[in-house]
């Protein structure tokens, strides 16, 4: 990696601090992950700006602040078992793996899944397990998960994901409001079998497609 990109990555970390990210584990993880390896070569010069970037198939890699914020809100510790719905480029999964989480991630777009699988293997993120399929169904075989992160917006939190959440687990998901034209980030904690939800404010993600999310025919109306 060129020294120029390394300096840009350090500048990205400084910007995250200025924006209020204080979780040292998250900052250190994001300084280690080479974000430019998760975008097309033509976009690598923009990799360390605080912008979402296209990764093809109508999907994006979230801006660094959003990745840092979501990761901080998960309150990750080494060894925690995490389910990610929406692998995308694999960047968010890599950041969580750098903290020491055991990451399971699902992607419904086959080409993105294949690219992420190849990329994460090349970067030696062997603690990340990838699956091609409908993320709204969760990953029952590997559940329960102590943390679940959803990186696409749905009409409500898919029921299978709540079923996959462990006791005292935390789930983060963008959810559309009643009119379906804006999203709110919700944080759900499970305590003695009861789910407690907190609204953390507006967010903007692509829509989650699946049996327990948006149906393809709904998007075509």
Mean local confidence (pLDDT), 92-115:
97
| Domain ranges, residue 210 | 3-219
**Distances from the Cα of 90 to the Cα of 7, 68, 103, 128, angstroms:** 22, 14, 11, 9
Q: Work out the average pLDDT over 107-121.
A: 97
pLDDT cut 90: percent of the chain above it: 90
Q: Residue 221: pLDDT band by 50, 70, 90 thresholds? A: very low
Does 62 participate in catalysis according to the annotation?
yes
Rounded average pLDDT over 18-45? 96
Query: Tens digit of pLDDT for each residue in 167-212?
Result: 999 999 999 987 667 999 999 999 999 999 999 999 999 899 999 9
Output the pLDDT for position 180. Answer: 65
Q: Are 201 and 184 in contact (CB under 8 A)?
A: yes
Mean pLDDT of the chain: 94
3-state SS assignment for residue 176: strand
Please, which contacts does 79-83 make with residues 24 or more away whose CB atoms are closer than 8 Å?
A: 80/146, 80/147, 81/142, 81/144, 81/145, 81/146, 81/147, 81/166, 82/145, 82/146, 82/147, 82/148, 82/149, 83/138, 83/139, 83/142, 83/143, 83/145, 83/147, 83/148, 83/149, 83/161, 83/164
Q: What is the pLDDT of residue 179?
A: 63
Active-site pick, 62, 89, 136, 154: 62
Distances (CA, A) of 157 to 104, 146, 153: 18, 16, 9
Number of Cα atoms under 13 Å in the Cβ half of residue 65:
13
The stretches of 106-215 forming alpha helices (DSSP H) are 110-122, 159-164
* pLDDT score of 86 more than 70: yes
CATH number of the CATH domain containing 128: 3.40.50.150
Residues forming a β-bridge with 148: 83, 171
**How confident is the model over 138-144, as a mean pLDDT?**
98
In this predicted structure, what is the pLDDT of residue 58?
A: 86
- For the chain, the domain total comes to 1
């Amino acid at each position: 990696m060129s020294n120029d990109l390394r300096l840009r990555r350090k500048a990205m970390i400084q910007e995250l601090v200025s924006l209020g990210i204080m979780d040292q584990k998250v900052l250190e993880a994001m300084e280690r992950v080479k974000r430019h390896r998760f975008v097309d070569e033509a976009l690598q010069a923009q990799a360390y700006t605080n912008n979402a970037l296209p990764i093809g198939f109508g999907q994006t890699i979230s801006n660094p602040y959003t990745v840092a914020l979501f990761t901080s809100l998960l309150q990750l510790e080494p060894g925690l078992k995490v389910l990610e719905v929406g692998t995308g480029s694999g960047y968010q999964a890599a950041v969580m793996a750098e903290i020491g989480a055991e990451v399971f991630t699902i992607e419904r777009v086959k080409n993105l899944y294949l690219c992420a699988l190849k990329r994460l293997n090349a970067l030696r993120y062997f603690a990340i397990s990838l699956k091609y399929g409908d993320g709204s169904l969760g990953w029952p075989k590997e559940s329960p998960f102590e943390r679940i992160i959803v990186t696409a917006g749905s009409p409500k939190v898919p029921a299978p994901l709540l079923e996959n959440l462990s006791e005292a687990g935390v789930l983060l998901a963008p959810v559309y409001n009643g009119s379906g034209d804006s999203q709110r980030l919700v944080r759900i904690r499970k305590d003695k079998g009861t789910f407690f939800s907190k609204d953390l404010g507006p967010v903007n993600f692509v829509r989650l497609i699946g049996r327990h999310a948006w149906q393809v025919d709904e998007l075509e109306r």
